[in-house]
Chains A and B, each alone.
Chain A
Amino acid sequence: MTTAKDVPSALMRQTLLDRELVKPVERPVVRVLPWLTVVSIGGRAIIDRGRDVLLPVVDELRALLPEHRMLVLTGAGVRARHVLGVGLDLGLPTGVLASLASVESEQNGHLVAALLAAEGVSYLPHGGTAHQLAVHLAASRAVVSNAFPPYGLHEFPPAVGKIPVHRSDAGAFLLADAYGAQRLVYVKDRDLGTATIGAAELRDRGDSPVDALVLDLMANAKHVREIHVVNGRDRGALSDAVNGKPAGTVIAA
Chain B
Amino acid sequence: MTATRESLETLLMERALSDPELAAATDTVPDRPILPDVIVVKVGGQSLMDRGREAVYPVVDELVEVKRTHRLLIGTGGGTRARHAYSLAAELGLPTGVLSGIGAAVSGQNAQMLGYLMARHGVPVVGGEAFSALALYLGESGAAIFSGMPPYDMWQRVPADGVIPPYRTDAGCYLVAETYGCRRMIFIKDEDGLYTANPKTDPSATLIPEITVDELTALDLPDLVVERPLLELMRHARHVREIQIVNGLRPGLVRRAVEGEHVGTIIRSGS
Q: Which 3 A-B pairs have the closest CB atoms?
A: A91-B32, A95-B179, A178-B97
**Is the Cβ of A162 less than 8 Å from the Cβ of B155?**
no
Could you say which residues of chain B place their CB within 8 Å of the CB of A20?
222
30 CB contacts below 8 A, A to B, read: A4-B79, A7-B84, A9-B84, A13-B200, A16-B86, A25-B87, A84-B17, A85-B12, A89-B29, A92-B34, A93-B33, A95-B179, A150-B151, A150-B155, A151-B152, A153-B175, A160-B24, A161-B26, A161-B27, A171-B155, A174-B154, A174-B155, A174-B158, A175-B97, A177-B158, A178-B98, A179-B97, A220-B157, A222-B95, A222-B158
> Considering only CB atoms, which chain A residue lies closest to B27 in the complex?
A161
Indicate if B119 sits at the interface (CB-CB under 8 A).
no
Q: CB-CB contacts of B234-256 with A at 8 A, as 1s and 0s?
A: 00111100000000010000000
Indicate if A88 sits at the interface (CB-CB under 8 A).
yes
Distance between Cα atoms of A222 and B162 in the complex (Å):
9
**Is the Cβ of A92 less than 8 Å from the Cβ of B32?**
yes
Distance between Cα atoms of A40 and B255 in the complex (Å):
49
**Is the Cβ of A93 less than 8 Å from the Cβ of B238?**
yes
**Is the Cβ of A88 less than 8 Å from the Cβ of B160?**
no
**Is the Cβ of B168 less than 8 Å from the Cβ of A16?**
yes
Could you say which residues of chain A place their CB within 8 Å of the CB of B249?
1-2
**Is the Cβ of B5 less than 8 Å from the Cβ of A126?**
no
Could you say which residues of chain B place their CB within 8 Å of the CB of A152?
151
**A155 in complex: contacting residue of B33, B179, B228, CB < 8 Å:** B179
- Knowing that A85-B12, A95-B179 are A-B contacts, what are 20 other residue pairs whose CB atoms are under 8 Å apart, sorted by A's residue number? A3-B51, A6-B80, A8-B84, A9-B80, A14-B83, A15-B223, A22-B162, A25-B90, A90-B32, A93-B181, A96-B179, A149-B152, A151-B152, A154-B171, A160-B23, A162-B26, A163-B17, A171-B155, A175-B154, A178-B95
Indicate if B130 sits at the interface (CB-CB under 8 A).
no
Interface pick from A27-35, A57-65, A104-112: A27-35
Indicate if B203 sits at the interface (CB-CB under 8 A).
no
> Considering only CB atoms, which chain B residue lies closest to A156 in the complex?
B233
Could you say which residues of chain B place their CB within 8 Å of the CB of A82?
12
Indicate if B141 sits at the interface (CB-CB under 8 A).
no
Could you say which residues of chain B place their CB within 8 Å of the CB of A23?
161-162
By size class, the interface of chain A is 35 or more
State how many angstroms separate the Cβ of B17 from the closest Cβ of chain A. 5
Distance between Cα atoms of A219 and B157 in the complex (Å):
11
> Considering only CB atoms, which chain A residue lies closest to B10 in the complex?
A85
**Is the Cβ of A220 less than 8 Å from the Cβ of B158?**
yes
Q: A1-B249, A222-B95 in contact; A154/B80 too (CB < 8 A)?
A: no
**Is the Cβ of A4 less than 8 Å from the Cβ of B80?**
yes
A-B contact count (CB 8 A): 237
**Count of chain B residues near A, Cβ 8 A:** 84
**Is the Cβ of A19 less than 8 Å from the Cβ of B161?**
yes
**Is the Cβ of A78 less than 8 Å from the Cβ of B13?**
yes
User: Secondary structure at chain A's binding surface: helix, strand, loop or mixed?
Assistant: loop
**Is the Cβ of A154 less than 8 Å from the Cβ of B154?**
no
Distance between Cα atoms of A146 and B223 in the complex (Å):
37
Indicate if B108 sits at the interface (CB-CB under 8 A).
no
Distance between Cα atoms of A97 and B178 in the complex (Å):
13
**Is the Cβ of A6 less than 8 Å from the Cβ of B154?**
no
> Considering only CB atoms, which chain B residue lies closest to A21 in the complex?
B223
State how many angstroms separate the Cβ of B131 from the closest Cβ of chain A. 7
Distance between Cα atoms of A166 and B29 in the complex (Å):
21
Distance between Cα atoms of A5 and B110 in the complex (Å):
14
Most buried by B among A95, A126, A155, A171: A95
State how many angstroms separate the Cβ of B73 from the closest Cβ of chain A. 12
Distance between Cα atoms of A172 and B233 in the complex (Å):
22
Indicate if A248 sits at the interface (CB-CB under 8 A).
no
**A9 in complex: contacting residue of B83, B175, B233, CB < 8 Å:** B83
Could you say which residues of chain B place their CB within 8 Å of the CB of A167?
17
Indicate if B271 sits at the interface (CB-CB under 8 A).
no
State how many angstroms separate the Cβ of B30 from the closest Cβ of chain A. 6
**Is the Cβ of A154 less than 8 Å from the Cβ of B84?**
no
Interface pick from A193-201, A209-217, A229-237: A209-217
Could you say which residues of chain B place their CB within 8 Å of the CB of A15?
198, 223-225
**Is the Cβ of A2 less than 8 Å from the Cβ of B54?**
yes
Indicate if A18 sits at the interface (CB-CB under 8 A).
yes
Could you say which residues of chain B place their CB within 8 Å of the CB of A151?
150-152, 155
**A7 in complex: contacting residue of B83, B158, B160, B180, CB < 8 Å:** B83
Could you say which residues of chain A place their CB within 8 Å of the CB of B162?
22-23, 25-26
**Is the Cβ of A10 less than 8 Å from the Cβ of B87?**
yes
**Is the Cβ of A18 less than 8 Å from the Cβ of B222?**
yes
Could you say which residues of chain B place their CB within 8 Å of the CB of A220?
157-160
Q: A2-B51, A26-B163, A27-B91 in contact; A158/B23 too (CB < 8 A)?
A: yes
Distance between Cα atoms of A155 and B233 in the complex (Å):
10
Indicate if A159 sits at the interface (CB-CB under 8 A).
yes
Most buried by A among B50, B81, B227: B50
